[in-house]
Amino acid sequence: MIPVQGFSGKRVGVLGLGRSGLTAARALQAGGATPVCWDDNPATREAAEAEGFEITELGKPGAMDDLACLIVSPGIPHLYPEPNPIIRAALVAGVPVDNDISLFFGSFATKDWDNFDVMPKVVAVTGSNGKSTTSALIHHVLQQAGRNTQLAGNIGRGVLDIDPAADGDVVVLELSSYQTDLARNLTPDVAVFTNLSPDHLDRHGGMGGYFAAKRRLFAEGGPDRAIIGIDEDEGLYLAGQLSQSAADDRVIRLSVERKLTGPGWQVFARKGFLSEYRKGRQVGSVDLRPIKGLPGAHNHQNACAAYAVCRTLGLAPKVIGAGFASFGGLPHRSQIIAKAKGVTFVNDSKATNVDAAIKALSAFKNIRWICGGLEKEGGLDALAAAAGNVVQAYVIGREAAAFAMRLGTVPSEVCTTMEQAVARAMDDAQDGDTVLLAPAAASFDQYDSFEKRGEHFASLVQTALQE
């Protein structure tokens, strides 16, 4: 655990007692603060109280009077679509509002670091899609290379739940827009922006607010090295803002759409080959085609980002390539769960938005596509144009019929339930087909999480194959 610095002897509000909130309360207590906790869920409050934490309704009059700060869990809105009443009360009272990510950056460095030969580093990864795979891939390559490394944030452990830094440690953080938007302290050594596509627009008041939340990691964080995917205009703009000149190699530009040239530092992937260029000449490469854990152009983009991070940390291209080769991929992200009778079954339940689903659809051929769920803002028009590899769509969700209609000319069948969709797809599948779960929608109309949705799909497939 990372004891929180700067609040010893002070009372600090903690709003939301899920994984990050409860860990923040423990870390505050370890640093000498008194956490004052609240959650709307009575069972969650009882669990925190059983640990000995003070439970106080933070929305009652006077609750903010003696608080030094209010720490907010990432799922709680602080501005859009409307502020949580407790957060607004804190703002009215002049109480600073912050989160666990900020507490981590303000507490990770200690006096013990004076005795280290190699200073610890923090790598922070954000973007719309690919954050988890990129973060896990960086962590995996570092492990394979024998480096001390920890993985935390939106993946793995909570940021305050990791171990104190060791000599030469590298902490890899996956950070969502919910986390970067509110953090008052953001000081990574290396920051990564994978890509941007419409998501969480209600939470950020539109696309501009969403981009602004991501941009804070770079504009306010001031990383020593910024690694930016420039295949969208926002990334191109961000790279331009951070560069002093075309030769400024503090910014590494990434692409999976075109070859990058120029006097700076670039990493790009074309036709399955990753290339690194510096000062106009190639200095490294990796053949990504045989790597089963990184299928498709979207995973090649993740590989480019991970490669660039590992190069900034001093790893050689061959070492990085060897790490890539042993990477097995993450659950629910283009995860091959079975192969039988010439049919491949792929779980990409994490494809919760249109852009992520499009990338999954481009990675496979002859697709029996299971899609649908709680539709997000932005519509589905782009899906129809990207569905050339789809043989048939099998639509699930409470609004399956409406979702299917929005797919335009894509052949579709309304199934509603995962059970029916899997059964129909397996009945129809032929040698050479891929049965792909890539919902292009959130899971909450039928499942508690995208993980539960992916687990259900995998379980149904495995059961059917055993019959």
Residues 227 and 127 in one domain: yes
What gap in Å lies between CA 460 and CA 101, rounded to an integer?
Answer: 38
Residues 354 and 304 in one domain: no
pLDDT number for residue 393: 97
What gap in Å lies between CA 397 and CA 435, rounded to an integer?
Answer: 18
pLDDT number for residue 19: 87
Helix-helix angle 296-312:317-325, to 10 degrees: 140
pLDDT of 413 above 80 = yes
Q: Domain range holding 248? A: 106-325
Give the pLDDT band of residue 379 (cuts 50, 70, 90): confident
Residue 372 maps to a domain: yes
What residue has token string 């602004």? 212
Model confidence, pTM = 0.87
Q: What is the CATH number of the domain that holds 387?
A: 3.90.190.20
Residue 82 maps to a domain: yes
In 230-305, beta strands by DSSP E: 251-255, 265-270, 273-278, 281-287
Summarize the confidence of residues 223-250 as an average pLDDT. 96
Residue 380 maps to a domain: yes
Give Cα separations from 6 to 11, 22, 43, 68, 110 (angstroms): 11, 19, 30, 10, 12
Residue 84 among known ligand-binding residues = no
pLDDT of 319 above 90 = yes
Residue 133 among known ligand-binding residues = yes
Summarize the confidence of residues 292-296 as an average pLDDT. 86
Q: Which of 98, 133, 158 is the last residue of a domain?
A: 98
What gap in Å lies between CA 437 and CA 429, rounded to an integer?
Answer: 14
pLDDT number for residue 287: 97
166-195 pLDDT, tens digit per residue, is 999 999 999 999 999 999 999 999 999 999
Summarize the confidence of residues 455-464 as an average pLDDT. 97
> Do 335 and 347 meet the contact criterion of CB atoms below 8 Å apart?
yes
348-358 pLDDT, tens digit per residue, is 999 998 988 99
Residue 2 maps to a domain: no
What gap in Å lies between CA 87 and CA 71, rounded to an integer?
Answer: 9
pLDDT number for residue 376: 82
Helix-helix angle 131-144:296-312, to 10 degrees: 50
What gap in Å lies between CA 127 and CA 251, rounded to an integer?
Answer: 16
pLDDT number for residue 157: 86
Residues 459 and 347 in one domain: yes
Q: What is the CATH number of the domain that holds 265?
A: 3.40.1190.10
Query: What mean pLDDT is reported for the chain?
Result: 94
Residues 224 and 259 in one domain: yes
Summarize the confidence of residues 379-404 as an average pLDDT. 91
pLDDT of 296 above 90 = no
In 273-424, beta strands by DSSP E: 273-278, 281-287, 335-340, 343-347, 367-371, 390-396, 412-416
pLDDT number for residue 269: 97
Residues 245 and 175 in one domain: yes
Residue 448 maps to a domain: yes
Q: 17: which residues sit within 8 A by CB, 6+ positions away?
A: 25, 37, 38, 39, 41, 44, 45, 47, 48, 73
pLDDT of 373 above 90 = yes
pLDDT number for residue 467: 76
Summarize the confidence of residues 432-443 as an average pLDDT. 96
pLDDT number for residue 334: 87
Residues 136 and 279 in one domain: yes
Residues 176 and 290 in one domain: yes
Say which residue, 211 or 201, is predicted with more confidence.
211
Summarize the confidence of residues 202-225 as an average pLDDT. 94
What gap in Å lies between CA 120 and CA 169, rounded to an integer?
Answer: 5
Give the pLDDT band of residue 198 (cuts 50, 70, 90): confident
Give the pLDDT band of residue 251 (cuts 50, 70, 90): very high
Residue 6 maps to a domain: no
Q: What is the CATH number of the domain that holds 74?
A: 3.40.50.720
Give the pLDDT band of residue 385 (cuts 50, 70, 90): confident
Residue 129 among known ligand-binding residues = yes
Give the pLDDT band of residue 363 (cuts 50, 70, 90): confident
Give Cα separations from 255 to 207, 265, 292 (angstroms): 22, 12, 21
Residue 132 among known ligand-binding residues = yes
Give the pLDDT band of residue 35 (cuts 50, 70, 90): very high
> Do 266 and 277 meet the contact criterion of CB atoms below 8 Å apart?
yes
Residues 84 and 159 in one domain: no
pLDDT number for residue 436: 97
What gap in Å lies between CA 384 and CA 457, rounded to an integer?
Answer: 23
pLDDT number for residue 136: 95
pLDDT number for residue 458: 96
The count of domains in the chain is 3
pLDDT number for residue 126: 97
Residue 454 among known ligand-binding residues = no
pLDDT of 5 above 90 = yes
What is the Cα 432 distance to its own chain's centre?
31
Q: Which neighbouring-strand residues pair with 343? A: 340
pLDDT of 297 above 90 = no
Longest alpha-carbon distance in the chain: 68
Q: Which of 81, 98, 115 is the last residue of a domain?
A: 98
pLDDT number for residue 459: 97
Residues 145 and 30 in one domain: no
Helix (H, G, I), strand (E, B) or coil at 73: coil
First and final CA of the chain: distance in angstroms? Answer: 47
Residue 430 maps to a domain: yes
What gap in Å lies between CA 447 and CA 121, rounded to an integer?
Answer: 37
Residues 112 and 257 in one domain: yes
138-159 pLDDT, tens digit per residue, is 999 999 999 999 999 988 789 9
pLDDT of 89 above 80 = yes
Parallel/antiparallel/unpaired status of strands 121-126 and 149-153: unpaired
Residues 396 and 320 in one domain: no
pLDDT number for residue 355: 87
Q: Which neighbouring-strand residues pair with 278? A: 265, 281
> How many CB atoms neighbour CB 128 within 10 A?
24
Q: Which of 98, 132, 149 is the last residue of a domain?
A: 98
Residue 258 maps to a domain: yes
> Do 33 and 4 meet the contact criterion of CB atoms below 8 Å apart?
yes
Residues 249 and 296 in one domain: yes
pLDDT number for residue 386: 82
